[in-house]
Structure 1
């Protein structure tokens, strides 16, 4: 009987380990929960902070009431184009329409030569270009207009005289060299040919201030100079009718030069 009582007392002394293990488990779970609560998602915290700041900016406290009043954000107003911008666009559209009319008039007066492939009228974003084969304008190595083409060039000048578009006349040659007393190189030949057309335009009533003559020699070919057809295509005079007004230049001084970093 005494032995049985002794065994029960021995068992009771070892049961505290179970309670201790349960306590340790609960304590571990407590610290895990505390750690989870102390970890803040930075992205969500930033969103919450921005939302709170925005909400407080839109709150106005009424002196007679402790309750906050939320202000409705103003409805954005769509700004209409300014009057100056509308006027500028109207001017540009008017010039575009005028340029199309000029191109149509040139097509009409040059229709026979266009059908023969001697004249091309090209419309670009810059304006209208009239490309004329120099074989119908000048004799080989010469800069005097053929009498048969003087009337046709005068018709182009009659179309351009009433307008206010800037006009650039360009002379082009092939790569066959020339060395005469009057034309030591293709540079002189192309420049004089362009100037000859310019003088005819001036005599026909085109304002000289609108005219520019440039000689490019053989530096801007439109076809390879390997064959006779390509060289004939490159010998040309082009008349560029510019749709835009020339921009006014601005002087660049030393103070506006960017400073280089060491």
Structure 2
């Protein structure tokens, strides 16, 4: 009687890959569940996402190579790429600013965001100035401005430039008041913040100042709440592309 032929364990069957893929997927889900994006440096996160862009594409598209190509002939090598240190320090500054101004962020006196200009620290004008005034309410806001000065002098933003931008709502100024228009009022408020920060030791040569009146609203200007959001002074730690 002929012996039964044993199945070839080393055959072309790929059943094992299914179990292996399930295990890898479960491990990935486990580590994703543990991952906290708030602790991730924005520059590192962007680099990680970029490195994963080609995963899952067909083999015909090729992968990333370390061999020299035409770009290297033009001088575009890895050594000529911009350093990521400045991007990392701005991400660190964002986390520090959020921590420094946590009470004021909760009370809407300060807002910390990041956009194409850089790191934006918005000071609510109603908390820092009286109506139609460019005189800072020092007694109420001194501690906030001192913390802001500490941030601007910190190692995280060393060598960076700053811009102070004043903004108003669309309500016309009082024709009998000190400001002919919102242009003058927004600029005067920017200058007031500049003078306070330089008086406490921040280098004046690192600043730019601008007044935008009501031309750059961040909220609808047809409600009291929206108008209050638009009345602000933005202190911006500039990104490299906005010097």
CA distance in structure 2 between the partners assigned to 1:105 and 1:134 by the alignment: 22
CA distance in structure 1 between the partners assigned to 2:77 and 2:161 by the alignment: 24
CA contact under 8 A between 1:158 and 1:204: conserved in structure 2?
no
CA distance in structure 2 between the partners assigned to 1:170 and 1:112 by the alignment: 23
The structure-2 alpha-carbon separation of the partners of 1:167 and 1:108, relative to structure 1 and needing over 3 Å to count, comes to: same
Deviation at 1:182, TM superposition (A): 2.1
Map of 1:204-215 to 2, 5 A cutoff? 204-215=200-211
Instruction: Specify which of 142, 149, 169 is matched with residue 141 of structure 2.
Output: 149
Cα offsets for 1:154-202 (capped at 9, x unmatched): 2111111242211111111111111244212111110000011111121
Map of 1:42-191 to 2, 5 A cutoff? 78-79=67-68, 85-89=77-81, 91=83, 93-146=84-137, 147-162=139-154, 163-178=158-173, 179-191=175-187
Instruction: Specify which of 176, 196, 203 is matched with residue 200 of structure 1.
Output: 196
Aligned-partner SS, 1:136: helix
CA contact under 8 A between 1:154 and 1:200: conserved in structure 2?
no
Higher RCO, Cα 8 Å, sep 6+: 2
Indicate the larger mover: 213-222 or 236-245. Answer: 236-245
CA distance in structure 2 between the partners assigned to 1:168 and 1:143 by the alignment: 18
CA contact under 8 A between 1:166 and 1:245: conserved in structure 2?
no
Name the TM-score, length of structure 2 as normaliser: 0.64
CA distance in structure 2 between the partners assigned to 1:210 and 1:106 by the alignment: 19
Instruction: Specify which of 222, 236, 240 is matched with residue 244 of structure 1.
Output: 240
Root mean square deviation of aligned Cα = 2.3
Residue in 2 that maps onto 1:23: none
* Gaps in structure 1 of 5+ consecutive residues: 1-76, 248-262
CA contact under 8 A between 2:169 and 2:228: conserved in structure 1?
yes
Look at both structures and tell me which one has the larger radius of gyration over its CA atoms.
1
CA distance in structure 2 between the partners assigned to 1:213 and 1:139 by the alignment: 21
CA contact under 8 A between 2:198 and 2:204: conserved in structure 1?
yes
The structure-2 alpha-carbon separation of the partners of 1:180 and 1:108, relative to structure 1 and needing over 3 Å to count, comes to: farther
CA contact under 8 A between 1:172 and 1:236: conserved in structure 2?
yes
CA distance in structure 2 between the partners assigned to 1:88 and 1:103 by the alignment: 27
CA contact under 8 A between 1:110 and 1:152: conserved in structure 2?
yes
CA distance in structure 2 between the partners assigned to 1:243 and 1:118 by the alignment: 24
Name the TM-score, length of structure 1 as normaliser: 0.59
* Gaps in structure 2 of 5+ consecutive residues: 1-65
CA distance in structure 1 between the partners assigned to 2:213 and 2:163 by the alignment: 15
The structure-2 alpha-carbon separation of the partners of 1:123 and 1:85, relative to structure 1 and needing over 3 Å to count, comes to: farther
CA contact under 8 A between 1:132 and 1:237: conserved in structure 2?
yes
CA distance in structure 2 between the partners assigned to 1:170 and 1:106 by the alignment: 18
Deviation at 1:141, TM superposition (A): 0.8
